[in-house]
Each structure stands twice: as structure tokens, then as C-alpha cells.
Amino acid sequence: MESFDQSFLATEKIGKLMQKYALPCIISLLVGALYNIVDQIFIANASYLGSFGNAANTVVFPLTVIALAVAVMIGDGCCAFVSLSLGRGRAEDAGKSIGNAIVMTLIAGILLCGVYLLFADPILTLFGGTVNGETFALSKEYFFCISLGIPLYMFGQAMNPVIRADGSPRFAMASTLLGAALNIVLDPLFIFGFRWGMTGAAAATVIGQAATALLAWWYLCRTKTVKLTKRDFYLSRRIAGRTLSLGLCSFLSQISLVAAMAAINNMIRKYGARDAVFGQAAYAQIPMAVVGIVMKVFQIVISVVVGMAAGCIPVVGYNMGAGRRDRVKRLLTLLLVCEGAVGLAALLVVELLPHRLIAIFGSANESVYYTEFAVRAFRIYLCMILFACLNKAAFIFLQAMGKAAASTALSMVREVLFGVGLALLLPVFFGLDGVLYSMPAADLLTALLSAAVIASTYRQLSDRPAHSSGKAHRMSRRDLYEQSV
């Protein structure tokens, strides 16, 4: 099997490599995050939908994250496996991983679509859709169309990191940009022009996702780093198992986020009903709509953070495979500095400009309670966003190094133990505000654990200097490969 030489990953300047691979990844993820936030902006500013539509969007959002969780498990795992394989001179395994990833994504997408269509009502109820009748009706309308597009959405998301690993981060970015551009153009046409409501918002999203998926398929027929053959599409237990294990952290970080969102949505519904204001039917949907908006803004920031870290995966994987731990250490330092800067900038925005943020989401058409709760939510819920950024960077970097166990453990502690646990516990003492306190508390506690793991990783990277001789270099690559695969 032919392969494109990627040895420059072990020689090019770290900063230049990070810029080359991370920037397209950041843009791709930002654009992906815009799918939901753009829908929410247009829905919020449509007078016939407003906060009811926004609450419905919040109910459905975790269900799209479930699809994303499966897609990134396959895609990120394949990306890491391909990079490690190429770094160790095993282009054949890289091709098999891509072929297996394509097959697994198609099967998973069709199965999940079927489950969503068959069990829509109980699923929406589980995620807090029964906050009031109007919200539930709009949730069903939106969810039906979104479910039809799940296979396309998953394919586009899973293949994006695979395309980056193949050495084409700009194409991965462009395919996502096209989908988002279509969504942005079609949303106002369908929602305001045709007045299709939630169906219009969902249809615009699905059309954009279809465009991204079609471009991904076109690219996969023309891969440059590895050339796919029919045999690559035969599922292999070894290849599929290793691909999924490397992507397990990505899956758990997303799926555990779903568990946290389900807990938060249900606590909002429960304790909002006990609030003097939001216990009234006319305002019952406001807390869920607002928290959904805050989560979407948070997703924009995290897209930058994850994009930076995920963009480094091919560089980290290749250098680990080539025994260049000194370069991996320098990249980790640069990444943490950049992630900290993003977190600090985001913190200043959410603390100083919450009124301007909520104004984007139709606050002029809502009651004063909508704006007041939104300002409080932004300032409390995201007050530890700096630590959230550093935590995410640590999770993904460890995954790229092949430390799936440490990465997965940290992610699970953050999202399940702290994310779900505190979301269920704190409202007991602080009511509706307890839901808001759960996020910063979880991020702060996780940061303490992440700091210890990062310090240990630095020591480990310092203990083994880069191999100087060609023989040692080759031995390191072969030995590491046998241990990992």
C-alpha cells in the first residue's frame, strides 16, 4: 500500500505544526457548534417560537450529542490509530482502520436513527421535554426531522478527523464550512420566509449535514496518505477494537455530557416548578431555554479548546510512535498556554458582557425574568470556564499519547461523578441556583485531579530522551507498536 511521507511531523517546528493542524480543526469544530447555536438564535428571534422553541432545542440537543459521541469515538479513534500506525511505518493498518471506521459509522448511524424514530416520546420525556405542553410539541416536531438526518450527521462528523489524519485538515475544514453556510442561509428562509417553525430549523440543519457528508465521501474516494482497497472495508476485530479503544475517551466525554445534561434538564424542570416565578405556566420554559443558551455559548468556547487539542493528535501520535518525547513535551506546554489564554478571554466575556450575549437570543421579545435569569446563569455557570478549558486539553492530549485509561478516567470523573452528581445534589440545598453552581464546582474539582496527571505526564516525558541513533529509533517504533496494537 502506498503512503504519503509524514516524517516532517518529527522535524518541523512545533508551533508551525500546531498552527497547521489545529487552526483548520478549530474552524471545523466551531462551524459544527454553530449548527445548533444558529438554530437557537433564529428560533429565539421568531416571535411565534421564542423561548418555547429554545426550550425544545435544549431538550433535543443532548440527543444529537449521543450521535456525536458515537461518531467521534470512531473518528477520533481512527485518527489516533492512523497517526500512530504511520509513525511506526504500518500504512496497511492505517488503511484498514479507515475502512473499518467507515463501515462502523454507517451501521451505527442507521441503528440510532431507527431507535430515535421508534421511541421519540419516551426519549424526549427522559430529557425534560414535559416542562410544559408547548415545549413538548415543539420538541417532537424538531426531533423527528433531526432524527432522519442522524446517519448523515454521524458520517460527516466521524470522517472529519479521519480526513485530518490523512493530511488534509483544510479539506476537513472546508467541508464543514459548506454545511454550516447552507444552514445559516436556509434557517431564516425556512423559519421566517416559509414559517416552517421547528421543522424548518431542523431541515436547514440536515441539509447542511448532508453536504458535509457528501464531501467527506468524495474525499474518501481520493485519499492521499493511504490508498484504500476493498479488503480495508472487511471488519477486523483487532483493528476495530483498537480504533474504538483509542476513541473511547472521546465517546465517554460526550456521552457522559449527555448524562449531565439529562440530570440538569430534569433538575431544572423539578426545581423550576417550585420557584415563585418559573412555577407559573407562562414562564416555566425560561430556565431550560436559558441554560440551553448558556451551554451553546460554552460549546463555542470548548470548540476552540477541543480544536486546538484535537488538531495536535496527528503530531502527538506520530512523535510518540517515532520516540520523540521531547517534542511531545514541548507541544503539551504550548497547548496548555494557548488553552489558558482562550479560557481567560472567555471568562472576561461571560462575566462582563452577559446582557449583550443574551440579547442575541431574542431577549427583547421576552419578559424581564428571561434576561435576569440569563445574566445570573452566564455569570455563575461559566465562572470556572478557565479550568474547563485546561481540563479538556488534558483529556485529549492524554488520549493522543495513547494513555486511554488516564484520559477516560479523568473524563468520567468530570462528567459523571462531578457533572451528574453535583447537578443532582446541589439543587437540594440551593434550589434552581444549585443547577448553576454544579458546573463550576465540577470544573474546579476536576482541575485539581488534572493538575496531578499533567505533572506526572511531564515527568514521564522527561525521563525518556529522544532516540539519537537510527537503529534505536527503528527499535522504538517497532516496540511501541507491538505494545499498543
Q: Distances from the Cα of 16 to the Cαs of 8, 13, 180, 292, 312, in angstroms?
A: 11, 5, 27, 36, 11
Query: Would you state the pLDDT for residue 6?
Result: 64
Query: Would you state the pLDDT for residue 287?
Result: 95
Which one is predicted more confidently, 343 or 416? 343
| SS3 label, residue 226 | strand
Q: Which stretch of DSSP H or E encloses residue 481?
A: helix 470-484
Query: Would you state the pLDDT for residue 328?
Result: 87
Model's pTM, two decimal places? 0.79
Task: List Cβ neighbours of 254 (8 Å cut-off, separation of 6 or more).
Answer: 65, 66, 68, 69, 72, 73
Query: Would you state the pLDDT for residue 161?
Result: 87
416 DSSP 8-state letter: I
Residues 101, 74: contact at Cβ < 8 Å? yes
Query: Would you state the pLDDT for residue 480?
Result: 40
45 DSSP 8-state letter: T
Residues 225, 86: contact at Cβ < 8 Å? yes
Provide the grid cell at 131: 416542562
Name the percent of the chain lying above pLDDT 70.
Answer: 94
- Model confidence at 9: pLDDT above 70: yes
CA 472, distance to chain mean position in Å, is 38
Query: Would you state the pLDDT for residue 20?
Result: 83
How does residue 473 score in pLDDT terms, banded at 50, 70 and 90? very low
Q: What is the tens place of the pLDDT at every residue in 191-238?
A: 999 999 999 999 999 999 999 999 999 999 988 888 889 999 999 999
Q: What is the tens place of the pLDDT at every residue in 288-298?
A: 999 999 998 99
Name the percent of the chain lying above pLDDT 90.
Answer: 58
Closest CA to 205 of 257, 155, 148: 148
* Low-confidence winner among 33-42, 182-191, 470-479 (lowest mean pLDDT): 470-479
| SS3 label, residue 47 | coil
Give the whole-angstrom CA distance, residue 455 versus residue 1: 40
Number of Cβ atoms within 10 Å of the Cβ of 231:
12
| Mean pLDDT of the region 250-262 | 82
Give the whole-angstrom CA distance, residue 365 versus residue 354: 17
Give the whole-angstrom CA distance, residue 183 versus residue 434: 35
Q: Is 90 exposed, middle or buried (0-12, 13-18, 19+ CB in 10 A)?
A: buried
How does residue 183 score in pLDDT terms, banded at 50, 70 and 90? very high
Query: Would you state the pLDDT for residue 90?
Result: 82
Q: What is the end-to-end Cα distance of the chain in Å, rounded?
A: 19
How does residue 134 score in pLDDT terms, banded at 50, 70 and 90? very high
- Model confidence at 484: pLDDT above 80: no
Task: List Cβ neighbours of 45 (8 Å cut-off, separation of 6 or more).
Answer: 361, 362, 365
| Mean pLDDT of the region 45-68 | 92
Give the whole-angstrom CA distance, residue 251 versus residue 270: 29
Give the whole-angstrom CA distance, residue 427 versus residue 425: 6
Q: What is the tens place of the pLDDT at every residue in 72-99?
A: 999 989 988 988 888 777 878 889 999 9
Query: Would you state the pLDDT for residue 4?
Result: 52
Computed on alpha carbons and rounded to an integer, the radius of gyration of the chain in Å comes to 22
Query: Would you state the pLDDT for residue 112?
Result: 98
Q: What is the tens place of the pLDDT at every residue in 96-132?
A: 999 999 999 999 999 999 999 999 999 999 999 999 9
Domain ranges in the chain?
Answer: 11-479
Give the whole-angstrom CA distance, residue 127 versus residue 411: 22
| Mean pLDDT of the region 156-163 | 92
Closest CA to 371 of 436, 272, 293: 293
Q: Which long-range contacts (CB under 8 A, 24 or more apart) does 421-425 make?
A: 423/260, 423/263, 423/264, 423/267, 424/263, 424/267
- Across the chain, what does the average pLDDT equal? 88
Q: What is the tens place of the pLDDT at every residue in 431-451?
A: 999 999 999 999 999 999 999
Biggest CA–CA distance in the chain, Å, is 74
Task: List Cβ neighbours of 105 (8 Å cut-off, separation of 6 or more).
Answer: 71, 74, 75, 154, 155, 158, 159
- Model confidence at 23: pLDDT above 90: no
Query: Would you state the pLDDT for residue 478?
Result: 45
* Low-confidence winner among 200-214, 231-245, 353-367, 400-414 (lowest mean pLDDT): 400-414
| Mean pLDDT of the region 144-151 | 97
Cross-strand bridge partners of residue 226: 3
- Model confidence at 474: pLDDT above 60: no
